[in-house]
Amino acid sequence: DADVTQTPRNRITKTGKRIMLECSQTKGHDRMYWYRQDPGLGLRLIYYSFDVKDINKGEISDGYSVSRQAQAKFSLSLESAIPNQTALYFCATSDREAHTGELFFGEGSRLTVL
């Protein structure tokens, strides 16, 4: 089983619908992140959390919200989806004790907004 699991893996929805992407991890890491990836662009950080009570906006947080329900769970919500939120979304974790700051990614959630 994957250490970082994302659900759903694929989702097609309509403009205006509320969508939640979920992420759970078994790595025991404190730090969790949500990124989106678009063709021709680098990964862009949406939100990140260094602890259960810690939520921080990333580069492109507008139109998104997150919830850190537990150390192992970090969910991303799109309150009212729009077509330009069509993208591949990745959850990632990192260990605050690791000096390299290496990220461990989930398999990705491909979201299509019609």
Residue 55 found at the interface with another protein (CB under 8 A): no
Residue 41 found at the interface with another protein (CB under 8 A): yes
Contact 72, 24 (CB under 8 A): yes
Residue 66 found at the interface with another protein (CB under 8 A): no
What CA–CA distance (Å, rounded) separates 77 from 59? 16
52 CB burial (10 A radius; 0-12, 13-18, 19+)? middle
- Window of 13-21, 22-30, 75-83, 96-104 that interacts with another protein by CB under 8 A: 96-104
Q: How far is the CB of 76 from another protein (least distance, A)?
A: 16
- C-alpha radius of gyration, the chain, whole number: 13
> Number of helices and strands (H, E) in the chain?
0, 11
Q: Which of 7, 11, 20, 45 binds another protein (CB under 8 A)?
A: 45
Residue 107 found at the interface with another protein (CB under 8 A): yes
* Residue with Cβ nearer another protein (62 or 101): 101
Residues in contact with another protein by the rule CB under 8 A: 40-45, 90, 100-108
